[in-house]
A and B are shown apart, each in its own frame.
Chain A
Amino acid sequence: MAGGAQRIYKQRIKSTQSLKKMFRAQELIAASRIGKARARTAAAAPYERAITRAVSAVATHSSTKHPLTSERHDTDRVAVLVIASDRGMAGAYSASIIREAERLVAQLKNEGKQVDLYATGRRAVSYYGYRGRQLAGQWSYGSDSPDSDVAGEIADTLLGAFLAPVDEGGVSELHVVYTQFVNMVTQRPRVVRMLPLEVVEGVAVPGESDTFPLYDFEPSPESVLDALLPRYVRSRIFSFMLDAAASELAARQRAMHTATDNAEDLIRTYTRLANQARQADITQEISEIVSGADALAAS
């Protein structure tokens, strides 16, 4: 009997301590990767800027219609791309992105649309898999360090769906749900309508002059647009994925930090309880000895 409670508390302290070590390690890993993820976001920025600028230059100078910029009215199918993480241990990160996606899907269904779901990251894939929901496409890559090849593959699939005829599962819109990295403490789920493209947003390019020069297009405005727009979509999707990666890591770092703190609290509590139990055992032993001695002395 004696020492039973003590042993249990010691065990708990030990296991909490090893958990704490794991949390701490995850926190440090996430912290060291955030810097890298943000550097990658910064490294991809010049490309995105150059493409956006070129797209708006073409858009302002030619009235060329392109399939990617025009609305489709022949189908009510729409595509939703959910960018989630591969792993948990990031607090509410996956839960909130999936909740946002579900809200969007419900809203689109209310508008009488059929939703094709595309998901990246094992968390989203298993969420929909578990509920028996059909996914039109899924990718699992290292969600905390996406590369541009995967982004290209995803973009090509979605562009293919958007350009496909109705009977081959063509969709009329593409929405992307991802987590926007605001700063280290704030990451916000965000919904963006990606296709059909609205180039208007890029026209107000900060520059020395308000007007774009009259470009020569080689070979022709149409084919320049043909080459530009898919690249634009690809680079946007890549930048969403990079943003999501930075958000995931920030969320993980914070969650693991909290977990470490909680583990410390638990260890403190258990240590107190263990001390108490030890004191109780000692007190009991002393009183047994004393009463035994008293009994002997009395006889």
Chain B
Amino acid sequence: MAELNVDLVAADRKVWSGAAREVSAPSVDGQVGILAGHAPLLAVLRPGTVKVSTAHETAVEAHVTGGFVSVDGNLVTIVVDEVTELSGREPALR
């Protein structure tokens, strides 16, 4: 199954990056779920929780204060102003 390449970046650092199965992000119009093969998308985010289900059946959750997400092919870039809480970070990734 195709995987998503996810970059989660905050204003002053890269928060998380890696392969994922599914990304769920709080867009202003409602939660959007992104799987591999999603149509190109640029969506504005509202404060909420970004959830990344990684390829290894673990999940990374980050509370964000706003930003946007761009989907281009299988490359997902989540650009956020600030990450207030991060859980489930895999130790191998910085």
Contact = CB atoms under 8 A, between A and B. Distances in A.
Interface of A: 40, 43-44, 46-47, 50-51, 53-54, 57-58, 147-148, 152, 212-219, 223-224, 227-228, 231, 234-235, 238
Interface string B9-21: 1111110000000
Given A47-B10, A216-B39, A216-B42, 19 more contacts: A43-B12, A46-B14, A47-B9, A54-B42, A54-B68, A215-B72, A218-B27, A218-B29, A218-B43, A218-B44, A219-B27, A224-B42, A227-B66, A227-B68, A228-B68, A231-B67, A231-B79, A234-B11, A238-B12
B61 interface: no
Given A216-B39, A223-B44, A224-B68, A47 B11 contact: yes
Nearest to A54: B70
A43 B81 CA distance: 14
Do most interface residues of chain A lie in helix, strand or loop, or is the interface mixed? helix
A148 B29 contact: no
25 contacts: A43-B13, A46-B7, A46-B9, A50-B9, A53-B70, A212-B72, A213-B73, A215-B42, A216-B40, A216-B41, A216-B43, A217-B41, A218-B27, A218-B32, A218-B41, A218-B44, A219-B28, A223-B44, A224-B43, A224-B44, A227-B44, A227-B68, A231-B79, A231-B81, A238-B11
A54 B9 CA distance: 13
Contacts of A43: 12-14
Interface string B22-43: 0000011100100000011111
Contact of B42 (A47, A148, A218): A218
A51 to B, nearest CB: 6
Most chain A CB atoms below 10 A, which of B10, B12, B29: B12
B7 A50 contact: yes
Contacts of B77: 50, 53-54
B73 A47 contact: no
B86 to A, nearest CB: 16
A213 B73 CA distance: 8
A50 B70 contact: yes
Given A216-B42, A219-B44, A227-B44, A148 B12 contact: yes
